[in-house]
Each structure stands twice: as structure tokens, then as C-alpha cells.
Structure 1
Amino acid sequence: MMRALTIRQPYAAAIAHADKRIENRVWRTAYRGPLLIHASLTPDRRPGRGVSAVVRGLQLDLGAVVAVARLANCHPDDGACSPWSLPGHYHHVLEDVTALPLPVPWKGAQGLWTPPDALLARVCLQLDEARVSRLLEQAEPC
């Protein structure tokens, strides 16, 4: 089963278009597999200094799926994971990130949420067949 994660901008753009491969959360997850990266409707009004330089010039889409990734791991803060990691948080490790050519407008949710089939169909239309096959192979069964 595929999951989705709603993330505030500009962090969703940093995942989709830059090198942000750690998403910080106060909760852990046992889920591993394909993940839709959804940009929330509400942006973070106080992003860190470094993130603005990373996403400068990018359109920060709101309320839309902007990328597909694989949630490869989740571990507690170890102090040296990534420049993007925050102390005292669980680090959700993202791999195989693919930005969508056109963001797919959709309402998000809190936590890891299950995207409906209609959303998955719209996302898959933008991916090549090999990427869609890999996503479906990686998805955990219901």
C-alpha cells in the first residue's frame, strides 16, 4: 500500500528539487516503501536560513503532490545524519526521489496517509512505466 506525507513549503520543494533527503518528525514509523510528497496548503513562514537559498527561484506549489520517493528508513536522531536533520526528532530517510513535472492538486492529511486510487492514477500518468512498476513492486501489501 502506498502512503503520502504532507510537508510544508519550502521543505517539500527542497525534497523534490534539491538534496533534502531527511524529513524530521516527532514520531517514528515502521512503514517502508513508496511515498507521495505532498506540499501542504500552509507554508512555513519561518524557514531556516539555508533552505531559502536552496529553493530560490522555484515555484512553491501549495496543496499538491510534488514528488514521489521511497521511505527507506526511520531512525532517532544520531547527531550526524544530515545537514537537514533536527536534534531530538526521528529522521525519515527518503531515497529515489522523483519530482513530478506537474504538481497534482489534492487535499493532504496529517501523519502518513493513504492516497486514494484517483490520486495515484493522476500521479502515475506523469511517470514512465519503469518508475510506476518500481513503485508498485515496493508497495507493501494491504
Structure 2
Amino acid sequence: MHIFDFFQPGVAPSENPTILIQQPIWRFLLGASPQAIARLLDRFSRGPDRYPVTQGFLSMLTLTLWQPYATFIALGIKEFETRSWSTNRREPLLIHAAKRPLGDDEKYLIEHLSRKFPVIGNLLLPIKEYPLGAIICQVNIVDCVPTNSFTPNNLERMVGGWGEGRYAWKFEDVQTMYIPDVSGKQGLWNFPDNQIPKIFGISTLV
């Protein structure tokens, strides 16, 4: 399998609906940096084991987060996701908001952020409007470093766990989207790409 297998010379993906993967990959390539395209081509050139295939469709790497942290990433408020484990992956990643409702601690955090950072407060959603059980944005993983290797700003400290022995995943190139009714998983998981064509037909700020 190679990326160019999904394209017919001189034919735009929208003109060839039989190959469902074309539209997402085509849109990705149009908006991707040369470095991102090079990484994608490298993965395809190394075979299917480098880019998981589910029932004939490509899958996208996905991470499930509790709210409001998933939406903080979608809104650009949170640039780092802190984890107890590191990753060597440097590639696009879908952010999935878990079905778990916001707890008292998360509600307090939203209210505290609104008071401490009035400009950010204008961006935050009302408590009942945070989407649950949905993929809400795509990011690029560009780095992963120990949390004690640098000093985050006050905002990042408030929206992440910066204790000893943790890792900060740095995200860039946020693209908001909304795909509802998706069940999450622990750790990194693959979202089947037979649903991904919906991503590029639904591009709404969440």
C-alpha cells in the first residue's frame, strides 16, 4: 500500500467516490506542511504496519480526554497534554472528548479560569455545552518532553498535571471538527477511517 495508490492522475478525489479514503487524505495534503507530508509519505512507504488499516480503510490515531480539557485543546487554550507516559509519535492525532460528565473539580476550574483570565473566559463554553462522547479536533504531536525539563506558563499549569515523572505532549495545528456518538478508549487508539469522510463535511467550532 502506498499513498499514491489512492489517486488517479488528473482526477480530483471528489470525482472518484469509490475510493473513500481519497477525500480525507486529499484535504489533509492541501493543508499540511511539507514536513507533515514527508512524514505521511514515509509511513506509507514502510507498509501497512506503519499506518493501521481497519476493514480496508486507514485509521487515525486518537486520544480520549475528559472535559473540559479536550475542548481547551480545541480552543487553543491548552497547548500541552500531560501524561504519565511518553510517546515517540510525531503525527496527526484526533482529540476525543470522553462521555464522562464534568465533575465539581472541572466546573470549578472553568469558573476559576474565567475569573483569572477574562479574555479566556469569553471563549469558554457554558458548563452544559461541553460536547461529550465526540471527536472535537485534530492536532499534530510535535514534541514530548519530561514536565520537569521546562517551566510552563501559569495557564498551562492550571489546565495540566505537571507533577514529577510526567510528560508534556506538545500539540500544534489545531483543526476543530465535530463527530458525535463516538466511544473512547484508554491510551492511544485508532479511529476507523470509514467514518472520517464526515470530518471534512463537518467543520464547526466547538
- Tell whether the structures are fold-level matches, with TM greater than 0.5: yes
Q: Which residue is equivalent to 1:94? A: 171
Asked if 1:11 is matched to 2:74, the reply is no
> Is the Cα contact below 8 Å between 1:61 and 1:103 reproduced in 2?
no
Give the superposition deviation at 1:9: 0.2
Q: Give the distance between the partners of 1:105 and 1:65, measured in 2 at CA.
A: 9
Greater shift, 88-97 or 48-57, is seen at: 48-57
Q: What is the CA deviation profile of residues 81-117 of structure 1, one whole-angstrom value per residue up to 9, with x for unaligned ones? A: 34324222210111001111x3432111111111101
Task: Let me know the Cα RMSD of the aligned residues.
Answer: 2.1
**Partners of 2:83 and 2:167 within 8 A in 1:** yes
**Residue 114 (structure 1) aligned with residue 190 (structure 2):** yes
Gapped runs of 5+ residues in structure 2? 1-50, 52-59, 115-120
Distance 2:100 2:90 in 1: 27
Of 22, 25, 30, which aligns to 2:80?
Answer: 22
Higher-RCO chain (CA-CA 8 Å, sequence separation at least 6) = 1
8 Å CA contact 2:79, 2:172 repeated in 1: yes
Look up the equivalent residue of 2:106 and give its one-letter code. P
TM-score (norm: length of structure 1):
0.77
* SS of the residue 1:107 aligns to: coil
Q: TM-score, normalised by structure 2?
A: 0.55
* Residue-by-residue CA offset, 1:105-134 (whole Å, 9 max, x unaligned): 21111111111012322223335xxxxxxx
Q: Which residue of 1 aligns with 2:152?
A: 81
Moved over 6 A (4+): none
Following superposition, the deviation at residue 47 of structure 1 comes to 2.5
Larger Rg: 2
Whichever structure has more strand as a proportion of its residues is 1
Whichever structure has more helix as a proportion of its residues is 2
1:72 is matched with 142
| Letter of the structure 2 residue corresponding to residue 60 of structure 1 | Y
Q: Is the Cα–Cα contact under 8 Å of residues 11 and 51 in structure 1 kept in the other structure? A: no
For structure 1, list consecutive stretches of 5 or more residues without a partner in the other structure: 128-142
SS at match of 1:108: coil
